Structure 1
Amino acid sequence: MVRDDWFTVQQIDSDTYAISEYGHWEKVHSFLLIGQDKAILIDTGLGIGNIRKVTDQLTDLPVEVLTTHVHADHIGSHGQFDTFYVHEEELDWIVNGIKGRTDEQIRKDMTRDITIPTPPGFEPETYRPFRGVPSETVKDGDVFDLGSRLLRIYHSPGHSPGHITIHDEMKGYLFTGDLLYDGTPVYAFYPTTNPEDLVRSLERIADIPGVTRVFGSHHTVGLDPQILPEVKSAARELRERDLVRFGTGIHRFPSFSVQF
């Protein structure tokens, strides 16, 4: 039993957990994957609560952080961990901040529409997105061995230039970050996004074999893998209708939507 007033912990299996922030409008999920030798935390959330206090209750193993992408709602608590990784395309973002997004803009997004009491010590007026130097950068094809558990990295740009998708090859879990989730549109309409890259990335992850469950970083925890054939069909339809470009709006499909 994990005790925390900010985070909600959902056990996916005996050594996999979703750590969710349902009190914030983004409803963002981080995921703890435990191997025999070490654990990987996929993203660290908003930085409103202390996620390290949660992971310490779930495992005694060393915890390293894999970053799906360098947006503020995914890197908020990176500073609580000694080792974290980002894709090489977003090294500058994690060190110097996202181009075109001021701290003030990010602060407004991160501190609005909060529906439960925030933890002691959290001050909305002084919230600042995390910046720091990663232990290493990652690239497409890298493999992380946790001890009897292998994670393969797929570079999946579009939502951001260095976005990655993580495939737990032994369990078949696919952690898609902000490339694929339900509830609200996956977006590629900011200047730092790329609609064509997003569709290519969706097509690529749809072909990954042996996927048993899809875990996006927002809304529903765990999507049926049948969403992947739907993604492939949707990508084909978007191309045929010449919609894969900025300004074409929101495009809805049975299980997900995208916005360009």
Structure 2
Amino acid sequence: MVKIMDSWFTVNQLDDTTFAISEYGHWEKVHSYLLIGEEKAVLIDTGLGIDNIKRITDQLTNLPIIVLTTHVHWDHIGSHGEFKNIYVHKDEEDWLINGIKKLPIEQIRKDVSRDITIPTPKSVSPDTYKPFQGKPTGLLNDGDEIEIGNRKLTIFHTPGHSPGHISIFDNRCGYLFTGDLLYDKTPVYAFFPTTNPTELVQSLKKITDIPKVKKIFGGHNTIGLDASILQEVRNAVKELIEKDLVRFGTGIHKFEGFSVQF
């Protein structure tokens, strides 16, 4: 097992070639994931940007890294500028280049600075923090397959939390990386102007139809949810639709193992 001691990041080895890189010192408790193939590696999201995640990936692999962006929110693109090959769903290319729509920099800086429990690098100041902006290397579409050497990843467009949100399925391991579509402890949300409750529910239904899922890895909170939660998700989708709750303003809806907020 690989052990890395770091002042900001916590590294958990999920198997021989898969790592969760977490930022537990911040209230968001964000996870990025490094998947190592025989020819390339994939980094799913790059974290908050409070510290440089490349310092960690450099210790874990010498292979060229492709960054796959689950969605263009500031807490998932923080270290994008450290990598050459960045991919994003086509519906959020504009957000990556020109900035996140309807999210003022003042709000972002407020969210960056609150509830931090461990020291941050002196080079980072909430007063000057700015999310990454830049042109992606390439664009992703639903159904795209990415081969990194004896490891094939499938892209699923799962909008709702954001227009170009994606989930990523590792066909070799049965891992489903769900970004901010599905995680536990705090609500998955679709109550901002740039979210869409109907699309979120459709996306939740979509991932329940993916065969051979063994484990689910979300962008926040617990690392690794049992695939059995997908049955609860299927039931939740049915209930939300039948009770006419899939619309803005209906609040937080709690189910076994997860919740959603509209």
Which bracket does the TM-score occupy, shorter chain normalised? Answer: over 0.9
Is 1:250 equivalent to 2:252 in the alignment?
A: yes
2:226 alignment partner, SS class: coil
Is 1:123 equivalent to 2:125 in the alignment?
A: yes
1:126 alignment partner, SS class: coil
2:104 — aligned with what?
102
1:29 — aligned with what?
31
1:209 — aligned with what?
211
Alpha-carbon distance between aligned partners in 2 of 1:31 and 1:209, rounded to the nearest angstrom: 21
Q: How many Å apart are 1:3 and its aligned residue?
A: 2.9
Structure 2 letter corresponding to 1:3: M
From 182, 185, 188, give the equivalent of 1:186: 188
Alpha-carbon distance between aligned partners in 2 of 1:146 and 1:99, rounded to the nearest angstrom: 32
1:132 — aligned with what?
134
Is 1:241 equivalent to 2:243 in the alignment?
A: yes
Is 1:54 equivalent to 2:60 in the alignment?
A: no
Alpha-carbon distance between aligned partners in 2 of 1:198 and 1:124, rounded to the nearest angstrom: 31
From 87, 90, 102, give the equivalent of 1:88: 90
Number of residue pairs aligned between Structure 1 and Structure 2: 260
2:114 — aligned with what?
112
Structure 2 letter corresponding to 1:19: I
Whether contact under 8 Å (1:31, 1:42) holds in the other structure is yes
TM-score by length of 2: 0.98
Structure 2 letter corresponding to 1:122: V
Q: How many Å apart are 1:51 and its aligned residue?
A: 0.3
1:153 alignment partner, SS class: strand
Counterparts in 2 of 1:71-86, with a 5 A limit? 71-86=73-88
1:163 — aligned with what?
165
Q: How far does the alpha carbon of each residue in 1:44-100 deviate from its partner, in whole angstroms, 9 at most, with x for none?
A: 000001100000000011111000000000000000000100000001100011121
Q: How far does the alpha carbon of each residue in 1:115-169 deviate from its partner, in whole angstroms, 9 at most, with x for none?
A: 1001231222111111010000100011110100000000000000000000001
Alpha-carbon distance between aligned partners in 2 of 1:124 and 1:248, rounded to the nearest angstrom: 33
For the aligned residue pairs, the C-alpha RMSD in angstroms reads 0.6
Structure 2 letter corresponding to 1:224: D
Structure 1 letter corresponding to 2:115: D
Whether contact under 8 Å (1:5, 1:119) holds in the other structure is no
Greater CA deviation, 155-164 or 120-129? Answer: 120-129
Runs ≥4 residues deviating over 2 A:
none
Sequence identity percentage: 65
Q: How far does the alpha carbon of each residue in 1:189-217 deviate from its partner, in whole angstroms, 9 at most, with x for none?
A: 00100000000000010110000100000
From 222, 226, 229, give the equivalent of 1:227: 229
Alpha-carbon distance between aligned partners in 1 of 2:99 and 2:245, rounded to the nearest angstrom: 31
Alpha-carbon distance between aligned partners in 2 of 1:98 and 1:79, rounded to the nearest angstrom: 16
Q: How far does the alpha carbon of each residue in 1:1-31 deviate from its partner, in whole angstroms, 9 at most, with x for none?
A: 2232000000000000000000000000000
Structure 2 residue runs of 5 or longer lacking an equivalent are none
TM-score by length of 1: 0.99
Structure 1 letter corresponding to 2:36: I
Q: How many Å apart are 1:111 and its aligned residue?
A: 1.6
1:63 — aligned with what?
65
Alpha-carbon distance between aligned partners in 2 of 1:154 and 1:111, rounded to the nearest angstrom: 32
2:197 — aligned with what?
195
Structure 2 letter corresponding to 1:211: V
Alpha-carbon distance between aligned partners in 2 of 1:40 and 1:12, rounded to the nearest angstrom: 15
2:20 — aligned with what?
18
Structure 1 letter corresponding to 2:253: H
Structure 2 letter corresponding to 1:244: V
Structure 1 residue runs of 5 or longer lacking an equivalent are none
